[in-house]
Amino acid sequence: MNKEPVALAQVKAKTIQKEKRRLNAKYFTPWLFLLPSIVILGVFLIIPILEAFKWSFLDYKIIADSGEFVGIENFKEIFKDKDFWMSLLNTILFLLIVLPLNVFLPMILAVLVNQKIKGVATFRILYYLPVITPMVVAALIWKMLYSQNGIISALLVKIGIFDSPTNLLVQSSTALIGVAMITVWKGLGYYMIIYLAGLQSIPKDVYESASIDGASTFQKFKSITFPMLAPSVTLVSVMTIIAGMKVFEEIALTTGGGPSGATTTLVMYIYNKFMDLDVSIASAAGLILLILSIGASLLQMKMTSKNEDDLRA
């Protein structure tokens, strides 16, 4: 009996088995690395969202750990609440202040620190320091700067904006702007790094060709730098919108939502409802905030991607 066909069949079967094991290892190994993150996200993000979704349709009593199904009554109550609409307006105003500043100021800083000049590394470190400064420390610093005896108050009086020293955080007309400046200051270095990475990916020969054609520095920025940074602009915009929609620490540590609700944003509104043990209303408001954040981010991505196509055309 010829044993060659049998041996060949066995070799072929072993080869197929090895290939299957290799493909299985190739497929499952990445998931093993992702498993810890998936578990953490599931426990601390997905499950709380599902719980909030359930509570938003109940008249939930946290002490009794029970609740009666009420349908969309919680949402109706929220939409009738003047405090909710004020917090939504404050959130939108906060975004209108922070978004353009967080998009353009870090871009300018990135262009400046991208130059080959002596000591530029020191400036990069200094610009990034606010990012690693704890928010508690940052809030205390800015509260002192904004106080009636602070530098900012004295400067505003000197340039004629105020007649007398004024604490921006205790005035309804200026408190939101004051808090927004803290957010911008904290994010400058972080977003600068994103833009810096984008700048360093632009080929040098593009600028050299523009210089040969006699393009000025402004023309280079307008025609080369800004269009090539469009993906970074999209990323920074979306991150700013998400951060702005859920702003909390700055407000909690400086104004607490005051004066007279002038700095009460959606997250502060939700926080206050939770502190009042009105869990169902807080959960419903949280879902509204989630939907608004996703919608605003998608809208911004669509707008910036369209502008990106126009700039590169």
pLDDT of residue 4: 56
Long-range Cβ pairs for the range 267-271 (8 Å, 24+): 268/87, 269/83, 269/84, 269/87
If 0-12 CB within 10 Å is exposed, 13-18 middle and 19+ buried, where does residue 81 land? middle
Q: What is the dihedral of CA 241, 94, 195, 134, to 10 degrees?
A: -100
Contact 115, 200 (CB under 8 A): no
Q: Which two tokens stand for residue 73?
A: 């009554």
pLDDT of residue 210: 86
Mapped onto helix, strand or coil, the DSSP state of residue 171 is: coil
Mapped onto helix, strand or coil, the DSSP state of residue 277 is: coil
Centroid of chain to Cα 156: 30
- Residue 277 — φ and ψ, nearest 5°? 60, 20
Instruction: Round to whole Å and give the CA distance between 115 and 123.
Output: 11
Residue given tokens 């004295």 in the structure block: 154
Q: Which two tokens stand for residue 255?
A: 């104004």
Mapped onto helix, strand or coil, the DSSP state of residue 68 is: strand
Report the chain's terminal Cα–Cα distance, integer Å: 73
* Per-residue pLDDT tens listing for the chain (313 residues): 455 565 666 666 667 777 777 766 677 778 888 889 889 988 888 888 888 899 999 988 877 777 889 989 999 999 999 999 999 999 999 999 999 999 999 999 998 888 887 878 888 888 889 999 999 999 999 999 998 888 998 898 888 888 888 888 988 989 999 999 999 999 999 999 999 999 988 888 888 888 888 888 888 888 888 888 988 998 999 899 999 999 999 999 999 998 889 999 999 999 999 999 899 999 999 999 999 988 988 887 787 766 555 555 5
Q: 75-312 has which fold?
A: MetI-like fold (1.10.3720)
pLDDT of residue 224: 87
* DSSP letter (8 states) at residue 259: S
Instruction: Round to whole Å and give the CA distance between 143 and 3.
Output: 88
